[in-house]
Structure 1
Amino acid sequence: MLMTIRDRATGWIAWVIVILISVPFALWGVNEYFSTDPQVYVAQIAEEKISQRQLMNVYQQRMDRLRSQLGSNYRPGMFNEKQLKRLVLEEMIEQTLLLQAIQQQGFAISDKHLAQQIHATQSFLDEGKFSQARYERLLSSAGFTAVSYEMEERGQMVMSQLSNGIVASALPSVEEVEALVKLRDQLRKVAYLQLSAAAFSDEISISDAQVAERYEASKSLYMQPEKANLSYIELRVQDLESLIDVDEETLELTYQEQQVQFLSEEQRRASHILIMVNDEAADDAARTKIESLQARIRAGESFESVAKEASDDVASAASGGDLGLFGRNVMDQAFEEVAFSLTKGEVSEPVRSSFGYHLIKLAEIHAPEQKSFAEVREQLLETVKRERAEKLFYERAEELANLAYENPESLDPAAETLGLTVKNSGWMTRAGGGSLPEDPKVTDAAFSKEVLNERINSGVLEVTADHMVVLRLYEHKEPEQKPLDEVRGEIKSTLLAEATKARAEESAAEMLKQVAAGEALQNIAGQKGASLNESLWIKRDDKALPQSVVKGAFVLPHPDEGSSTQSVVSLPKGDSALVVVSGVKPGKLAGIDTAARQALQSQQLKRRGDQSLTAMVELMRKATEIRIFEENLE
Structure 2
Amino acid sequence: MESLRNFLKSWPGRIFLLLCLSPLALLGIESYFFGSSNLDQIAVVGDESVTLSDYQNAINNRRHELLEAGIDASQINEAVLREEVLQLLIDRALLRQQVNKLGMTVSDETITRLLRQEPRFMGEDGTFSNDRFAYFLRQQGITKEQLFQQFREQLSLVQLNASIVGTAIYPMAEISRLLDLQEESRQMFIHRFNWQDFADQVSITDADITAYYHEHKNELKSQAMVDLDYLAISPASIDVGPVTEEDIKAQYEAFKQRNNAFDNRQISQILLTGDDAEKQIQTLKARLDKGEKFSDLAKEYSDDPVSAAQGGSIGTFNPDIFGQDANAVAQVIEGLEIGEISEPVKTTFGYQLFTVTKNDVSVPSLESMREQLQAEALNYKRAEAYADKVTQINDLVVDGYGLQDIAQQENVKIQQIKDYTKTDNNSVLNQPTVITAAFDEFTLQDQGVSPSIDVGESTVWVQPTNYRPVAPLNLEQATPIIKSQLVQQKASALALQKAEEVAKQVTAQGMDSTSVSFDNLGMVNRQSPILSQEEKTVAFTEDTQPGKLLALAQATEMGASVLVVDAIDRQSKQQISDEQKQRTAGIIRDNQGQTQLQDYIEYLRTVTKVEINEPALESANGS
* TM-score between both structures, scaled by the size of structure 1: 0.47
Larger radius of gyration: 2
